[in-house]
Each structure stands twice: as C-alpha cells, then as structure tokens.
C-alpha cells in the first residue's frame, strides 16, 4: 500500500485546467448558445476529455509554464502567424495568377535552434500552414521543407517566427 500522497498522480494541474478551458471555449464557439444545457454538457465533455487525455498530449518535461507571460507570447505568435499566412497567401496568388507562373520548386533542409520537441513541432506546423511551403520531414532538430520558390527557401531557414517560440 502506497503512503498517503506518495504515488498519486496529480490530475488537476495548470495544464489540465488550460486544456479544459480551451476545450470548453471551443465547445461554446461551435454551439453558439449559452443555454444551461449546452453549458453543462460542454463543461462535462471538456472535463472528461481533459481528464483522460491530459497526459497524452505533451510530456511533462515538454510543457510550457502556464502564466500570463506565456499566454501573451502565444497570442503574439498567433497574430504574427496569421499575418504571415495572409501575406504568403497573397504572394502565392500573385505567382499562380501570372501567365508564366514563375515557380522554382525546391526542397531545403535546415537545423533549428529550438530546444523543446513541442516547439519544433509548432514551427513545422506553422511552416506547413503558410502557403507556398510544406514541412515534409522533422527529425531531431532538422526540418525538411518543400518551397514553391527559391525566395521561400531562403526565407524559411531563418524565419522570424522561429525566434518567437
């Protein structure tokens, strides 16, 4: 028999409540109602999903601290990512709509300086979300990216958003 408090796994950690709030906010967004049935059902579903999946998402040593500074960094990063996606979308549309389509597809492999695995995955997914680029490989700290143009290839290896992670 384990001593009191000895081998118990902490369930209601800050990451649990962060996941719960994200799931509950998503529930409210898709239901579009604040009727008590929806609120109760959403809270119950968000609690159960967060309870049983909290330890599956990110390893404890990879988690970010849950505080105001981290939340502001995330908001800033998402804002910059949305701007980058929008600007890249305009660039790709400009390229595709030209009669001669000046594309020069290439694959670039580069090494990132990010320490945490979750940061490298966020970077890889951010590159994939940006029109004109596609992450096709992530091994250790090395990323392989397909780019629509050589200019994209030069920009992707030292992308300004990498410094924000």
State pLDDT tens for residues 103-154.
889 999 999 988 888 889 999 999 999 999 999 999 988 999 999 988 888 8
State pLDDT tens for residues 39-56.
999 999 999 988 887 767
Helix/strand/coil percent split, the chain, to 5 = 60, 10, 30
Q: How far is CA 55 from the centre of its chain?
A: 17
Evaluate whether 122 touches 68 at the Cβ level (below 8 Å): no
Q: Whose CA is closest to 139, among 155, 126, 123, 120?
A: 120
The domains of the chain are located at: 14-57, 68-164
What is the pTM assigned to this prediction? Answer: 0.66
Q: CB count, 10 Å around CB of 156?
A: 20
């Amino acid at each position: 028999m384990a001593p009191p408090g000895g081998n118990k796994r902490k369930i209601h950690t800050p990451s649990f409540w962060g996941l719960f709030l994200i799931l509950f906010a998503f529930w409210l967004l898709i239901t579009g109602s604040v009727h008590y049935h929806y609120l109760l059902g959403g809270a119950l579903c968000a609690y159960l999903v967060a309870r049983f999946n909290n330890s599956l998402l990110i390893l404890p040593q990879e988690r970010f601290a849950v505080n105001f500074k981290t939340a502001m960094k995330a908001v800033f990063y998402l804002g910059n990512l949305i701007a980058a996606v929008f600007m890249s979308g305009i660039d790709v549309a400009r390229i595709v709509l030209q009669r001669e389509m000046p594309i020069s597809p290439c694959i670039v492999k580069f090494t990132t300086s990010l320490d945490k695995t979750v940061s490298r995955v966020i970077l890889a997914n951010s590159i994939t979300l940006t029109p004109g680029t596609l992450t096709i490989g992530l091994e250790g700290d090395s990323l392989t990216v397909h780019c629509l143009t050589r200019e994209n290839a030069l920009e992707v290896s030292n992308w300004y958003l990498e410094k924000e992670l």
